[in-house]
Amino acid sequence: MTLDSSNGGTSSAVVTDRLGRPVRDLRISVIDRCNFRCTFCMPADREYRFLPRQQLMTFEEIERLVRLFVRLGVRKLRLTGGEPLLRRDIEDLVRLLAAVPGVEDLALTTNGALLAKKAKALADAGLDRVTVSVESLHDDVFGRVTGLGHGVGQVLEGIDAAADAGLGPVKINTVVMKGTNENEVADIAGYFKERGHIVRFIEFMDVGTVNDWSLDQVVTASGIADRIAERWPFEPVDRAQASDVAERFRYLEDGVEFGVIPSISRPFCGDCARARLSSDGRLYTCLFADTGPSLRDRLRAGATDDDLLAFLAAHWRQREDRYSEVRAERLRAGLQPAPQRVEMFRIGG
Ligand code: SAM
Ligand code: SF4
Ligand code: SF4
């Protein structure tokens, strides 16, 4: 362990895992419920059992864990879900976390359906940035992909409201799937380019077990970039940090950025500095893990900060996850990805 004093005086011990990776980003799922049923995440034709309220982490429990993670090296937080804006009084959690010394970036990922109502309160509470998921600009496709027939209008209004509240430029996440929205890539790029927002096109991933993933539904990052290149010339932008998952580009004509996230075709486990907390307080050290230890149970059993810190440091030190790289090796060998994985709506993206 090396001592680190770069977080505003909080004494800390930065840990690295077995592959030399620090823990820099913490993604916190605040709820497993969702008001959408996206085909690639929690398809509508399945039954889901959601956590009873008392099993969700409380805001105070989340804040306490965040303070400990900051001491181990975390600087960036992202609230996610399920749909985080369904968590009652979410802005109160934002206010608590924004006040934690050492947190340099506080973001939230949402499907945007409730964002028009919530954007100002979130910005006032100290949220830095918001990412909104948009798979189509057409109501019929949007309604099918998100499973319950919603129109995209309320989401686009939410994005405008977020920009008006000072949460822009907004990041847009777009999962691209063959036969669904691949032909809309350039239109989606153009719509958000005009408004100065940053789209990140994501390769459809084999997260969870309910989305019937198969390789032939994946549109690769190169295929996505080719579609955009047919309309606008662009150039690569250096990654701000090695652990950024997006490959970034800038349109030559206006300097607006977009990105592609090539989890399937060009895995990036080597720099992965992310930890994830599920809504019931389990710690996952990989998006594709099948389980993780319960921090909530340790908190509720009376663990001290020192106990928890020692546990977290030891757990991170023995981390050796590199699922996407292993998946790529398996696919090259003609094998399917490993079968046991936590669902995306339980741990967030
Ligand atoms: N409900 C919020 C939303 O949709 O933005 C936050 C949670 S959602 C699980 C977080 C991100 O994961 C979304 O941007 C979503 O598009 C992405 N996602 C979900 N399933 C995915 C999959 N199979 N492949 C790639 N991205 C996925
Ligand atoms: Fe809900 Fe987000 Fe999953 Fe869609 S991707 S079902 S909006 S959690
Ligand atoms: Fe990180 Fe796991 Fe994704 Fe690799 S597969 S980048 S280790 S979350």
CA distance 150 to 142: 7
For residue 287, which atom of ligand 3 is closest to its CA? 8
290 C-alpha to ligand 3 centroid (Å): 13
Helix axis angle for 59-72 and 305-317, nearest 10°, is 60
* 30 in contact with ligand 2, CB cutoff 6 A: no
32, 33, 83, best to mutate for ligand 2 pocket (most atoms within 8 Å of CB): 83
Of 51, 37, 39, 73, nearest to 294 by C-alpha is 51
Q: What is the pLDDT of residue 88?
A: 97
Say if CB 80 and CB 94 are below 8 A apart: no
When pLDDT is averaged across residues 78-85 and rounded to a whole number, the result is 97
Q: Which ligand 2 atom sits nearest the alpha carbon of residue 35?
A: 1
pTM of the predicted model as reported, rounded to 2 decimal places: 0.94
Residue to substitute in 244, 320, 323 for testing ligand 3 pocket (most ligand atoms within 8 angstroms of CB):
323
Ligand nearest to the CA of 205: 1
Average pLDDT of the chain? 93
pLDDT of 4 above 50: no
DSSP result, 133-155: E-S-SSHHHHHHHTSS---SHHH
Question: Which ligand 2 atom lies nearest to the CA of residue 348?
Answer: 8
Q: Ligand 3 atom 4: the closest Cα is on which residue?
A: 269
What band does 242 get if pLDDT is binned at 50, 70 and 90? confident
Ligand 1 atom nearest to CA at 206: 23
To the nearest 10°, report the CA torsion of 113, 116, 121, 127: 70
Question: Within 10 Å of residue 155's Cβ, how many Cβ atoms?
Answer: 25
Return the pLDDT at 1. 38
Helix (H) or strand (E) holding 191: helix 185-194
The predicted structure's pLDDT at residue 173? 98
CA 71 to chain centre: 22
Q: Which ligand 2 atom is nearest residue 83's CA?
A: 8
Summarised one tens digit per residue, pLDDT across range 87-99 is: 999 999 999 999 9
Q: Say whether 270 sits in a helix, a strand or coil.
A: helix
Q: What is the mean pLDDT of residues 254-270?
A: 94
Supply the pLDDT for residue 339.
Answer: 67
pLDDT number for residue 241: 76
174 versus 291: the higher-pLDDT residue is 174
pLDDT, position 340: 65
pLDDT at res. 321? 92
Residue to mutate, 344, 345, 346, ligand 1, most ligand atoms under 8 Å from C-beta: 344
| Ligand 2 pocket check for 81: Cβ under 6 Å | yes
Nearest ligand to residue 261 Cα: 1
pLDDT category at 12 given cuts 50, 70, 90 is low
Q: Kindly tell me if the per-residue pLDDT of 7 is higher than 70.
A: no
**Core vs surface per residue 98-134: b (16+ CB within 10 A) or e:** eebebbeebbbbbbbbbbbebbbbbbebebbbbbbbb
pLDDT score of 6? 43
Residue 8 has pLDDT above 70, yes or no: no
Is residue 122 over pLDDT 80?
yes
Q: Which atom of ligand 1 is nearest to the CA of 132?
A: 5
Label residue 341 by pLDDT band (50, 70, 90).
low
Identify the bridge partners of residue 277 per DSSP, sorted by sequence position. Answer: 28, 283
Residues with CB under 6 Å of ligand 1 are 34, 40-41, 80-81, 83, 109-111, 133, 173, 175, 202, 204-205, 207, 211, 344-345, 348-349
pLDDT at 68 over 50: yes
For the CA of 173, the nearest ligand: 1
Give residue-wise pLDDT tens across range 136-188: 999 999 999 999 999 999 999 999 999 999 998 999 999 999 999 999 999 99
What confidence tens digit (pLDDT) does each residue in 40-59 have? 999 999 999 999 999 999 99
Is the C-beta atom of 66 inside 6 A of ligand 2?
A: no
What percent of the chain is predicted at pLDDT more than 90? 81
Lowest mean pLDDT among 130-134, 237-241, 334-338: 334-338
Ligand 1: nearest atom to the Cα of 207 = 23
